[in-house]
Structure 1
């Protein structure tokens, strides 16, 4: 994968989230964009435009009809398309369920780490297939997210006086089923605080693409380990998210404005150098 390193590269923010996330967001110069990638089609049409005069690109991760199950999402095409459109940052939203007593439905979390428990998803662009970048990328995953971008999400929530958890470890499951009590207890023992079905490999691929990535996660329910409350149904989970979507959008919009008030040249450069310095091919071994 070639990375052009330009001084003073203009910030452009990609937003990947749940179906309907873009509906109340006011985009000026709104246009729909179909992007072709070596890995196939993204989940849906990408909507480009300006939010508070900032260039942005919005994508529904599961499709606008929410008809793509987690394991069938084309994560590589989604991230590649964002990179192709020139995104320097990606802010994402995830609905997550709680594995901890102190994390409740309605809470917002900016996770700092993850555990990937998926088994069926393409984890890298460098897979040796025709059309893929040449070589193998052994990508360091510490830190798991861009810390500076995380800070702006936290800052936005604080300025809006919204309670927010500043850290959390998310485990990503294959899905689409929910987990058992025994599985919940294993994940809790591993140190997981939250459960998602879509964070990985999205976070890995964004880093492999040299894009600064952070997640704004919204807690919709507690997992079945919590015996003192009824297990939430899928319809109840969707209702909880839709009821709070405006709050999530307010944080995103404020963070977008805040991000573009700073110079990101060095961070963008370091993200690209990280990828360039951690892939190998046979030409380098000669």
Structure 2
């Protein structure tokens, strides 16, 4: 029976997981440097988990300084089969109030200057991103949230902004006109890199505020975000408990979206033209296809 190993990337307010068995912490070196922090290994309901705080303990790293490539590579090297991203976000919809959860299924990426790919000169790959999240993991997480009594929307589009400042009101209104549902600073290029590493990825966006488009309410600020995050963190731990319990009761089979084999048709540089040094680095995340 195949075994799940769930990687969990914790966002603002979620810097550790309690209640794990057989806990150990380890630093994993990757060809792209060190991850945001030590990885915490443990078990819940018999399922191996690997936890990584995206911003580091103490929230040391702003969004643009997060070592996204190292984070995904470290989780891949740690043996994760799937990644669940947990992050705070602002709402761009009246029907998504603070405290509400959204299972992201689409992205619009407005980040700037971040390294978006493991591949590059010497070995080129183009992975499909039409469906940027894993439908199975998203469904399991949504079912777990609903079972825990959490107000949750099973689909939504996430606008990834550069930050670290929050939006202007004009920007917030523009994103609403575009049809965006929530806004955050960290899911991109994280989701892109997980796809290149052939890791099924799902994202729980926890609403902390209404961004700044509601003129009659207080505009978003860090203090408001942290206040709501405290209650959201309690909810997400309840969701995780039910999610992992569901995983413990079923074998892990290859997912329905073909994510685990996406590199079979994505690498277009023939072996004879590949840069050996690039191939050596890529072995950490693409060794299955590069040999």
Q: TM-score, normalised by structure 1?
A: 0.91
Tell me what 2:136 maps to. 148
**Counterparts of 1:35 and 1:20, CA distance in 2:** 23
**Number of residues of Structure 1 aligned to a counterpart in Structure 2:** 274
Aligned with residue 167 of structure 1, among 149, 152, 155: 155
Q: Counterparts in 2 of 1:119-130, with a 5 A limit?
A: 119-128=112-121
Mapped to 2, the partners of 1:137 and 1:273 lie a distance apart of 13
How much does 1:283 deviate? 3.8
- Aligned counterparts of 1:64 and 1:275: Cα–Cα separation in 2: 33
Q: Retained in 2: the 8 A contact 1:109–1:166?
A: yes
Match of 2:268 in 1: 280
Separation in 2, partners of 1:256, 1:117: 33
1:81 is aligned to 74
Corresponding residue number in structure 1 for 2:146: 158
- Output aligned runs, 1:11-30, within 5 Å: 11-18=4-11, 21=14, 23=16, 25-30=18-23
1:221, distance to aligned residue in structure 2 (A): 0.3
- SS in structure 1 at match of 2:30: coil
For residues 20 and 151 of structure 1, do their structure 2 counterparts lie closer, same or farther at Cα, with a shift above 3 Å needed? same
3-state SS, counterpart of residue 267 of structure 1: coil
173, 179, 187: which is aligned to 1:199? 187
- Partner Cα distance (2:83, 2:254) in 1: 17
Q: Does 2:25 match 1:32?
A: yes
Match of 1:116 in 2: 109
TM-score, with length taken from structure 2 = 0.89
RMSD (Å), alpha carbons: 1.9
| Local SS of the residue matching 2:33 | coil
Q: CA deviation at 1:200?
A: 0.4
User: 1:23 Cα shift?
Assistant: 4.0
Alignment counterpart, residue 48 of structure 1, candidates 37, 41, 50: 41
In the alignment, structure 1 residue 245 sits paired with structure 2 residue 238: no
1:35–1:42 Cα contact (<8 Å) kept: yes
Question: Counterparts of 1:272 and 1:23 in 2: how far apart (Å)?
Answer: 28
After superposition, the Cα gap between the structure-2 partners of 1:216 and 1:137, relative to the gap in structure 1 and judged at 3 Å, is same
The answer for the alignment partner of 1:264 in structure 2 is: 252
Residue 93 of structure 1 is matched in structure 2 by: 86
Return the offset for 1:34.
0.4
